[in-house]
Copies of this chain bind each other. A is one copy, B any other.
Amino acid sequence: MAKEKKLVESITSMEEDFAQWYTDVVKKAELIDYTSVKGCMVIKPAGYAIWENIQHELDRRFKEAGVENVYLPMFIPESLLQKEKDHVEGFAPEVAWVTHGGLEPLQERLCVRPTSETLFCDFYANDIHSYRDLPRVYNQWCSVVRWEKTTRPFLRSREFLWQEGHTAHATAEEAEERTIQMLNLYADFCEEVLAIPVIRGQKTDKEKFAGAESTYTIEAMMHDGKALQSGTSHNFGDGFAKAFEIQYADKDNTLKYVHQTSWGVSTRMIGAIIMVHGDDSGLVLPPRIAPVQAMVIPVRQKAEGVMEKAEEILQAMIRAGIRAKLDDTDKSPGWKFSEQEMRGIPVRIEMGPKDLEAGQAVLVRRDTREKTVVQIPEIPEKVQELLDTMQKEMLERARVHMEKHTYTALTKEEFKKTADEKPGFIKAMWCGCQECEDAAKEEIGVTSRCMPFRQEILSDTCVFCGKPAKKLVYWGKAY
């Protein structure tokens, strides 16, 4: 029993130290490992399988939305990065520079892509000639590098995996439509698949992407009340097109600039899953994204007939389309239970000699720990029911948590008091000027998360300066 306790005890409690709990979970659930390369991580099989499921489901949705996949180089010549002024200012301070190829110095430095707007623009400038070539709706799955000073697994690392979509359109309207379409695609994916409710909205000018005309975002609330920006979609208007000379001959035979967008989500989403759903026993994976949905754990597995029946149950679940596994290692059942819980596997099926005799097994839900005794032939159906219920209830629970920790503030005092005492989102009116936004950050320690699509009018005046209010804004501390 000492060994079993060790696994469980080795996680810090969430309430005690959330940051340490997070670090413990990513290690103990075997999602990542640290490396000799500072700020970079190994994504281990249990972590990568989650990413594969995210990719698979998103890619299917992309393709339905007319997206085609491509691959562009990982290097950007310095002169190319500099073509769009705001963009280079935003990214140049945090890129990694390649200066030598083999034994020789390069004539021009190359940066490792922090994002690929400039490469796509360079490509589109050659590739787009006529209105017939539009729209271009391309995406790539790749890794990018940003030379961050402080890093945390999945949330902020020097290299991370993501997808970046880059599109070119004939009109401003079509570009705006695509920007919103992709944001909604991300939001639906988060809610339907990851069971994470999100606030959909627009970033303020201060918080928007370097070079964008407007940036849209989905913001999720973690268990500790902090916000995690979980996906963004940018409308560039024709700013990049002008910097890179991307023009097309329209039907009337005049040359026009294209309008562009870009949008991306990353392995950060895995961080969101952990911090929204996890508990003091480890990870809790939403069934739709869980690499293993059900784990059969035999009790007294050497007793006659137990392993045979466990294998039979496993095969019945696999036939029913459930991603199931059987833990037939020589560890103790208690140890296996802890491991299954730590890894967040949604349902476990316990079965020992007594169950076998009674023709039954015990199903245990990971999130509520609720136990159900089920006749063996009914297991696949019951497990599927549990998975469906759990998926729904996890979303619901996260939604209640977010709503419970979303506050409103009508005065600066109220705002400050809420921010100091109650972790969560604060809804408050804003005049639209950056001074107030800067004050919120410097004096109160929160940033504007977004101007939600669903606007409300709490009052007529800005919560900070008292001038006429322009927008309702979600504010919060963020990862």
Give A residues with C-beta under 8 Å from B. Answer: 33, 35-37, 40-45, 48-49, 51-52, 68-77, 80, 93-103, 110, 112, 119, 122-123, 126-127, 138, 142-143, 145, 147, 158-159, 161
- B residues in contact with A45, CB < 8 Å: 68-70, 138
Q: How far is the CA of A74 from the CA of B150 in the complex (A)?
A: 19
* Chain B residues closer than 8 Å to A71, beta-carbon distance: 42-43, 48, 51, 143, 161
B77 touches A36 (CB 8 A): yes
Bound complex: CA of A158 vs CA of B101, how far in Å? 10
- A70, closest chain B residue (CB): B48
Given that A48-B71, A127-B33, A159-B74 are contacting pairs, would A100 and B99 also be in contact in the complex, using a CB cutoff of 8 Å? Answer: yes
Say whether A37 contacts B76, CB under 8 Å: yes
Q: Does the CB pair B69–A35 fall under 8 Å?
A: no
Query: What chain B residues lie within 8 Å of A119 (beta carbons)?
Result: 35, 37
For the complex, what is the distance from the CA of A35 to the CA of B98, rounded to whole Å?
Answer: 17
Q: A97-B98, A102-B95 are in contact. Are A44 and B73 (CB under 8 A)?
A: no
Chain B residues lying within 8 Å of A143, measured Cβ to Cβ, are 71, 74, 142
Contact in complex: A96, B93 (CB < 8 Å): no
Instruction: Select from chain B the residue with minimum beta-carbon distance to A110.
Output: B37
CB distance from A125 to the nearest CB of B (A): 10
Bound Cα distance A102, B49 (Å): 32
Complex A-B: 18 CB contacts under 8 Å: A35-B72, A35-B119, A36-B77, A36-B80, A37-B73, A37-B110, A40-B73, A44-B70, A45-B69, A71-B161, A74-B145, A75-B96, A75-B159, A96-B102, A96-B110, A97-B100, A97-B101, A101-B147
Tell me the minimal C-beta distance from A255 to chain B in angstroms.
21
CB distance B122 to A98 under 8 Å?
A: no
B residues in contact with A95, CB < 8 Å: 102
**Residues of B close to A145: CB separation below 8 A:** 74
Whether A97 lies near B99 (C-beta < 8 A) is yes
